[in-house]
Amino acid sequence: MRIPREGLPSRGFSLLCKLLNNAKRENWCQCHLADQQIPQLLEKVDADVAEKIRQGGCLHCAGKLHSAKYRRKPRGQPKQDWERDQEVYRASFCCDQDGCRKRHTPPSVRFLGRKVYWGFVVVLVAAMQHGITPPRLHALRESLGVARRTVEHWREWWLHTFVQSPFWNAARARFSPPIDLKTLPLSFCEAFGVEERRDRLLALLQFLSPITTDSIPLGWSM
Ligand SMILES: [Zn+2]
């Protein structure tokens, strides 16, 4: 039976609500994590960007781009019911010219590089590390099935790999006042106003999307 994505009871989320309903900061995080429409919204955004990349053709020659998508099994949402039935792909293309065949993987608002969790989970849970008490972070991890080691790895990635990336080097000047690097990615969530609206989370994920691919130049824009 095919299960529609919307309107599912999310058991994991009701647990989340019970555990994390005090502070405002916790509320916006859990609301985004539980929002059943976010994955659909992000899928549409990714599909639009992928179509623009495809239409633009090969960046290295005059070749056309053919689909060579990757199957992904992203983790980190209390929505296992439909995930079992739903194939998730990351768009990617290959040039059709012999001697080139270069791969073009579009920037994504869903997948942060090769991380196996949904990108917004990597952002929100890593942000929560700076905002909530250890027992609550533990509860959040448990409800999303994220190991403590994984969250520590994300923290390392934000505080070291990300801040040294060419992307951040080029983008940091856009922020005034400057971003507090010690509390990444919470400081991004605050700078983008993610606590207020879903579209602000999307704006943050779009801002970050150039780091999700090595095959499209940083300066590429829609
Ligand atoms: Zn080519």
**Could you identify the residue written with the tokens 């605050």?**
190
Q: What is the DSSP letter of 158?
A: I
More confident residue, 46 or 33: 46
| Residues 149, 21, 73, 92, Cα dihedral to 10° | -100
- Surrounding ion ligand 1 within 5 Å at CB are 58, 60-61, 63, 95, 97, 100
* Centre of ligand 1 from the C-alpha of residue 161, in Å: 30
221/89 Cα distance (integer angstroms): 22
* Centre of ligand 1 from the C-alpha of residue 53, in Å: 13
What's the alpha-carbon Rg for the chain, to the nearest Å? 18
pLDDT at 129: 83
* Centre of ligand 1 from the C-alpha of residue 51, in Å: 17
Poorest-pLDDT segment among 3-7, 131-135, 157-161: 3-7
- Answer yes or no: is pLDDT of 91 > 80: yes
